[in-house]
Amino acid sequence: MLHYDIRGHPIAAAPIRGSDNTIPLAPLRIGAGHCGSVWTTTDATWVIKRADGSPHRYLWKEYYMQNRILNHYSKSKPPKALIPASFWYSINEECWVMCSERIPPLSTEFRDALVDRFCPEEVKQGVKEKDTVCIARLYLGRRHSGRPSRFFSLNNYVLCLDSMEQLELPVHEYAEAIADTLATLHWDAEIDANDVEFVLGSRRQLDISALKPGLSSSEIANMLYNWPTRCVLVDYRPIDPPRPQPSTKLSASTTGDSQVWVLDFDCCDAITMDIEGVEKAALSAHINDPYHPKPCTPESKDFELWEAFRKRYLATGAEIIKRKGLDEKLPRLFIDRGPYCARHSQETGR
């Protein structure tokens, strides 16, 4: 198996442990999905995503979409949910890879709180010692039902609404962050946000200037498919001042440092700024995992959460629509499609 340095150059082997003067390159697999597996080193501020997933999911598309969104983020008021900075895309004989900013894992205190509250007693200590890398998926649209599972892992942990309430987490802030981001993806980046994930990690540790994309989405779109961008960004396009380089100096997170992030863009598609685009965005939102609150009536105990989401989505959408001179009804049409799409999702089991 080939390994890569942070500039994308393949290296023959990786040492298990580095000295004070070397970068520790022992690979650590921290995630896997349909598009590929995610690798880093213990204290790195970067991740490498390797295209070893489904043959029907394309890493180049994710690289393009991530940079498309980042370009729009850099031109407008950034939403409260962060998107990992994109560094480069590279290819070799073995596979395709992309390098992005790492989402810092939740603090030890936060992880311990999850284990102490929700983990079966007999496996608590083992989980605390083993599962040291944790980001949590925020399911504001789902509560637990049935008996709790005897299996417990912090890897890709699902944090349902009732669990967040038990931990006294700021669920209304999370709902507003997700609403803010969805409105920006829909009406500024003009994509459907299909299959994106909203997760809770810790606060960004890279300098904010690292977020500025090295290539525009139009430049990437005009490249040959699967064209390596590492050589363009590193060798032929020096930046003054230089972009901050990812490092192996990830700091330990502390309680109160949690931050909403959004990731996984390979299933996203462009939408038109009309009713057809609204329909596509609404269906994508409601067949996705239940990250945002579900539409509900005033009698529901989740109504205030839905209202927080709805109001923020409409407010952010209205600002973008006005700036771009689009039809002012578009954000409200998306919200109005919610009840229908929710019923459709239940009927189809999605």
The DSSP call for residue 211 is G
List the one residue out of 209, 255, 227 whose CA is nearest residue 101: 209
Q: Which pLDDT belongs to residue 168?
A: 95
For residue 81, the tally of other CB atoms under 10 A from its CB is 24
Per-residue pLDDT of the chain (350 residues; tens, 9 = 90+): 444 444 444 443 333 333 444 445 678 888 887 778 898 887 888 898 988 867 777 888 998 899 899 888 867 677 789 999 888 888 776 788 888 999 999 999 999 999 999 998 888 888 888 877 899 999 999 998 877 677 888 888 999 999 999 999 999 999 999 999 999 999 999 999 999 999 999 999 887 665 566 677 677 777 766 767 765 555 444 444 444 455 545 555 555 689 999 999 999 999 999 999 999 999 999 888 899 998 888 899 999 999 999 999 999 999 999 999 999 999 999 999 865 554 544 544 44
Q: Which pLDDT belongs to residue 235?
A: 47
Structural fold of domain 3-102+205-249:
Phosphorylase Kinase; domain 1 (3.30.200)
Q: Which pLDDT belongs to residue 197?
A: 95
Helix axes 171-187, 303-324, angle to 10 degrees: 30
- CB-based contact 5:44 (threshold 8 Å): no
Q: Which pLDDT belongs to residue 150?
A: 75
Backbone angles phi, psi at 44, to 5 degrees: -75, 155
How many Å separate Cα 331 from the centre of its chain? 22
- CB-based contact 106:93 (threshold 8 Å): no
